[in-house]
Structure 1
Amino acid sequence: MKNRFLQLMALFFILPLCAVFAQEDYKVKDAKLTYQNEDFYDVEIYDHEQLKFKKYPKNIILLIGDGMGVSQVFAGITANKGILHLQNMKTIGFSKTQSASNYITDSAAGGTALACGKKTYNGAIGVGPDKEPIESILEIAESNGLATGLVSTSSITHATPASFIAHQPKRSMYEEIAADFLLTDIDVFIGGGESFFNQRKDGRNLTEELEAKGYQIFNSLDAASSVNEGKLGVLTAPAHNDKFSERGDMLLQATDKAVEILQKNKNGFFLMVEGSQIDWGGHANNTSFVVGEMLDFDKVVGQVLKFAASNRETLVIVTADHETGGMALEDSDIAAGKVQASYTSTDHTGVMVPVFAFGPGAAEFMGIYENTAVFDKMLKLYRFDK
């Protein structure tokens, strides 16, 4: 009996730890330097002279390719025989990614800079160097009557999406980050991380608490397919979602569902979509992983641009929190869709990352600036003070 009690107690402590460690288990080198694309896709090119955008955006969609530097972008261009949807975004700038504590940022500090407009220390989620909460663009949009949403191929409690909705001193505080969702009125969130909501050390079942607040909660996009209004949470995996080759078009479906619901708010909306696993391929030095995730992300960019080109009052921004892997392109072949790469690191690097913009206010994003300026520019263009 005593041994059984000890076994149960060990499981009580070990299972949550396994979920925590699973959040970082993608940082394993699995070098594969060559990628040969077999799944090419067409890209619609827009005539910018025919697009009559409004002067200011009613909606902003921020797409973050985690770990996406210019090499990752051009690897995608090479793999799809010279063209990506991203190339419709004629306004391009660069952001400097250094954090308050390190030359090389992590996703928590990088995400917080984009979400909240402040440099902070590596590991911080929505808090400044003093560990005090900083209001995010999502929270500001919400308080001004806009609909808000988060979509991610990682756990929704992971560093980048967490930076837009949570305020915690450490990125590893996944259960505390999940609990912060209850402190907001976010309209749509879709991503992994279900275990941090309903298999918690404190015994709380946050999915039930969210349902009590009026949320429709599902554990698959198929189950949520008929939902087209109201508050929605879809927790698509216990921890992270599978990589691109196994999860299908999850990111595309999730983004479409979020836009379908959020656009019904007459005041407008803010949506952040993260292609999380470009970063993971960089950590692994795996070119196949990097390029597959890059192409998956670009297909979502294409769908969002199609919406924005029709809507005419939606600003689309595509950027990264940092580059990962120090990826360098070698003797590749655009005509064949073949990518050959090498890497200088299995971690993040300190290089600038691109910022692409399309729609009303896009011109604001030209130039070289700190990553915090992305927040400043979004806030300026929303014109909440008018």
Structure 2
Amino acid sequence: MLKKISVCSLVGLTLAQGCAQLDNAGHAAQNLSSQQQPRNIIMVVADGMGPAYTTAYRNFADNPETPDIEDVVFDHMLTGNASTHPAPVSGYVTDSAAAATALATGIKSYNGAIGVDANKQPVESVLQRAKQLGLRTGVAVTSQINHATPASYLAHNESRKNYNAIADSFFDDRINDGFVADVMLGGGTSYFARDDRDLTALFADNGYQYVDDYDQLATLPAGSDVLGLFAPVGLPAALDDNNPHRLSFLTKNAIKHLEDPEGFFLLVEASQVDWAGHANDIGSAMAEMDDLAVTMEYLQNYVETHPDTLVVLTADHSTGGLTIGADGIYEWHPEYLRNMKASVSSIAVNMVSEASPAAYAEAQLGFTFEDDDSALVDSIAALPDFEARETALKAFLDKKTNTGWTTGGHTGVDVEVFAFGAGADAFAGQLDNTDIAKQFFRFLNNR
């Protein structure tokens, strides 16, 4: 592992000045900070990714054949932290809607708010401002595209639960006689192809390419306006999708269609880190983090060839109260997670139809069972209720890995902020989540 050694004086220089660094071979390491004005802005939200998730992922990705714990992509782009609390009416712990509204608009709001302030009045998002200024705009997410985070950048609604109304607004709300987003990739056919209104047909009639599988998306000519919906609601979990790195695939294709001389604004969301946290599912959490890591590696390479691009990554909040180490035992064992071939949910569904449930679960989980494990898993398979089987399998993995959880909901801790590319220096230090949107507005207004 290459250790980074700062050659900046610790006195008189700040993080915002972007210290030059050398690796242990004496080569200049890439300086990911810049004072430049960005032409393109890519906002990445890892929903639910509190600090424990990035630490867990570093250990999960570690090569056990070496004495060191290797760095992961996140380690080279960390710039600071952000507070996440919503408007006072909702206390100290945010939901995804209020947090996304803060990240998108720079305005604190109540839990459940989609692009509206605490008085339920619409507030402009940075994506909407970008569209107004003539940039191409898009979203690429692993949830449904009208879920809380993307919706807060694209729409205004008093409740995140109004999924059909939010979907309708993607078509009905216009900026400069155009739709708010030029590219929309994720899940959500249940909300866009309804009996009462087929939004997919309406977008197709207005010049959009509508696709519903990954192969179709890959064949579209660059620069297309695209509505791509690849699941009825959210996409399959990373462990169950035919493309385990579907977020990086969607991100690459979104950029392919957004690149423009005027620039673009893209929202990317690793939506299902949060879903794994709510489910207290450590296997899925690490698979979703791996999908995010591959996406960030792609974006890092993109910025190297497009240095006028800014990438900011943060979380909206932390979910699940993940702890790596539990029950007073100073151990964590990610080796039980590294070779999983399916999610715990999928295993819980399918194991009951197998002649040998324990052998099937052993193959899908990807590690060799110890003596008592097979009998335990066979007893889990005998449970008549799917949810009971799923819960018991997650407890089995938690015991093996020594993973702990404090809640099935959100926690109020600060989250990490990562940034690189043009203008990244503006995101150093301790921030509030609203500061990210406020800085984006400054960049957009200075164009």
1:328 aligns with 2:323: yes
Find the residue that maps to 1:245 and give its secondary structure.
coil
RMSD across aligned C-alpha pairs, in angstroms?
A: 1.9
Larger radius of gyration: 2
Find the residue that maps to 2:214 and give its secondary structure.
coil
Query: Please, what TM-score do these two structures have when normalized by structure 2?
Result: 0.72
1:291 aligns with 2:286: yes
Distance (Å, rounded) in 1 between the aligned partners of 2:436 and 2:308: 18
User: What is the identity, as a one-letter code, of the residue corresponding to 1:314?
Assistant: T
* Counterpart mapping for 1:21-170 below 5 A: 48-49=29-30, 55-81=36-62, 82-89=70-77, 91-100=78-87, 101-170=90-159
Q: For residue 335 of structure 1, report the CA deviation from its aligned partner.
A: 9.0
Distance (Å, rounded) in 2 between the aligned partners of 1:364 and 1:129: 27
* Higher RCO (Cα < 8 Å, 6 or more apart): 1
Q: For residue 105 of structure 1, report the CA deviation from its aligned partner.
A: 0.5
Query: Please, what TM-score do these two structures have when normalized by structure 1?
Result: 0.83
Give the structure 2 partner of residue 230 of structure 1.
224
Distance (Å, rounded) in 1 between the aligned partners of 2:335 and 2:148: 37
Find the residue that maps to 2:218 and give its secondary structure.
coil
Aligned equivalent of 2:247, options 245, 251, 254: 251
- Tell me, which stretches of 5 or more residues in structure 2 are unaligned? 1-26, 63-69, 326-330, 339-400
* Counterpart mapping for 1:148-227 below 5 A: 148-182=137-171, 183-184=173-174, 185=179, 186-200=181-195, 203-227=196-220
User: Contact between 1:80 and 1:337, CA under 8 Å: does it hold in 2?
Assistant: no
Q: For residue 334 of structure 1, report the CA deviation from its aligned partner.
A: 7.8
User: Contact between 2:283 and 2:337, CA under 8 Å: does it hold in 1?
Assistant: no
Find the residue that maps to 2:235 and give its secondary structure.
coil
Find the residue that maps to 1:68 and give its secondary structure.
coil
- Tell me, which stretches of 5 or more residues in structure 1 are unaligned? 1-45
Distance (Å, rounded) in 2 between the aligned partners of 1:174 and 1:337: 34
Distance (Å, rounded) in 2 between the aligned partners of 1:374 and 1:178: 26
Percent of aligned pairs with the same amino acid: 37
Distance (Å, rounded) in 2 between the aligned partners of 1:354 and 1:54: 21
Distance (Å, rounded) in 2 between the aligned partners of 1:47 and 1:327: 36
Aligned equivalent of 1:360, options 422, 426, 433: 422
Flag the 1:193–1:364 CA change in 2: closer, same or farther, 3 A: same
Distance (Å, rounded) in 1 between the aligned partners of 2:415 and 2:32: 27
Distance (Å, rounded) in 1 between the aligned partners of 2:430 and 2:225: 38
User: Contact between 1:54 and 1:312, CA under 8 Å: does it hold in 2?
Assistant: no
User: What is the identity, as a one-letter code, of the residue corresponding to 1:213?
Assistant: N
Q: For residue 51 of structure 1, report the CA deviation from its aligned partner.
A: 6.9
Find the residue that maps to 2:430 and give its secondary structure.
strand
Give the structure 2 partner of residue 308 of structure 1.
303
Q: For residue 205 of structure 1, report the CA deviation from its aligned partner.
A: 1.1
Q: For residue 378 of structure 1, report the CA deviation from its aligned partner.
A: 1.4
User: Contact between 1:102 and 1:122, CA under 8 Å: does it hold in 2?
Assistant: no
Distance (Å, rounded) in 1 between the aligned partners of 2:157 and 2:405: 33
Q: For residue 269 of structure 1, report the CA deviation from its aligned partner.
A: 0.6
Flag the 1:51–1:98 CA change in 2: closer, same or farther, 3 A: closer
User: Contact between 2:49 and 2:274, CA under 8 Å: does it hold in 1?
Assistant: yes
Find the residue that maps to 1:191 and give its secondary structure.
strand
Distance (Å, rounded) in 1 between the aligned partners of 2:84 and 2:251: 26
Distance (Å, rounded) in 2 between the aligned partners of 1:355 and 1:245: 26
Corresponding residue pairs, total:
336
Q: Deviations over 1:78-125 (max 9, x none)?
A: 111133222231x41111111112311000001110011100000010
User: What is the identity, as a one-letter code, of the residue corresponding to 2:86?
Assistant: S
Aligned equivalent of 1:273, options 247, 268, 272: 268
Distance (Å, rounded) in 1 between the aligned partners of 2:152 and 2:285: 23
